[in-house]
Amino acid sequence: MVKKVALAYSGGLDTSVCIPILKEKYGYDEVITIAVDVGQPEEDIRKADAKAQKISNKHYTIDAKEEFVRDYIFPLIKANGNYEGYVMGTSVARPLIAKKVVEAAIKEGAVALAHGCTGKGNDQLRFEAVFRQTDMDVIAPMREMNLTREWEINYAKEHGIPVEATKSKPWSVDENIWSRSIEGGRLEDPSFVPPEEIYEWTKS
C-alpha cells in the first residue's frame, strides 16, 4: 500500500524542504502538496505551482478567496477583530487552509497530514486544531527536527530545490487579501533595522 501524506504547501523554504524530508526521514512514498489561494500575489501562486509540479508527487491549488472573505474576513470585521492593533490576516487564514488540506487529503486517501510550521509560533496550533479532528497522523517536520533556516537552505540546495531565501535575507512573507506579515531570521532581533523592502504595502 502506498503511504501518502498531504502537505499544506506555500512554495516557501519551509514547506519545500518538507517534501524530501517526509520521504527520507518519515518514510512516506508520496507527498501530495496543497496550496490554498486566499489572495496571495498571483506570482506567488504561480511559483508555488511550478515548484510543486517538479518536486511533489501531486499538487493541488485550491481557490478559497471567496470563502475566505465571506466566512472569515467579514465576521472578523464585524467583530472588530484584532490583537493589540495587529490585523489578524495570517491567523484567520490558517483554519481555512487546514480545512482545504484535509479535504484534499481525504480525496487522495492520505494517511497523514503535514505542515511546515516551527515550534515557535502559533501557526502550528491553528493548523493542528483542524488536522487533529481527523484520524490521520499529524507531522510537523520543522518543529520535530528543530530545523534552522540556514540548515534548510543548505538542504534545499543539496536536493535541487530552488529557494529565494538566503542566509542574509532568511525571512518569510505571508500575504493574503487581508494582510501582509513578515517574520523570521534577523527580524526576530529587536536591534535589527528592517530594510525598506519589508514595507511593501506602506510608504513614508
pLDDT tens-digit profile of 122-162?
A: 899 999 999 999 999 999 999 999 998 889 999 999 999 98
DSSP alpha helix (H) spans, 3-122: 13-24, 42-55, 65-68, 74-78, 89-108
pLDDT of res. 114: 99
Q: What is the pTM (predicted TM-score) of this model? A: 0.88
CATH class label, 4-198 = alpha beta
Give the amino acid at 191. Answer: S
pLDDT tens digits for the chain (204 residues)? 899 999 999 998 899 999 999 999 999 999 999 999 999 999 999 999 999 999 999 999 999 999 999 999 999 999 999 999 888 999 999 999 999 999 999 999 999 999 999 888 889 999 999 999 999 999 999 999 999 888 999 999 999 998 776 555 667 788 999 998 887 777 888 898 888 878 888 865
- Dihedral, 149, 161, 131, 178 alpha carbons, nearest 10: 70
Strand partners, 114: 7, 139
Show which residues are catalytic: 14, 94, 123, 172
Enumerate residues 6+ apart whose C-beta is below 8 A from 39. Answer: 65, 68, 175, 176, 177, 178
Return the sign of the alpha-carbon dihedral for residues 164, 123, 82, 185: negative
Show me where the domains of the chain are located.
4-198
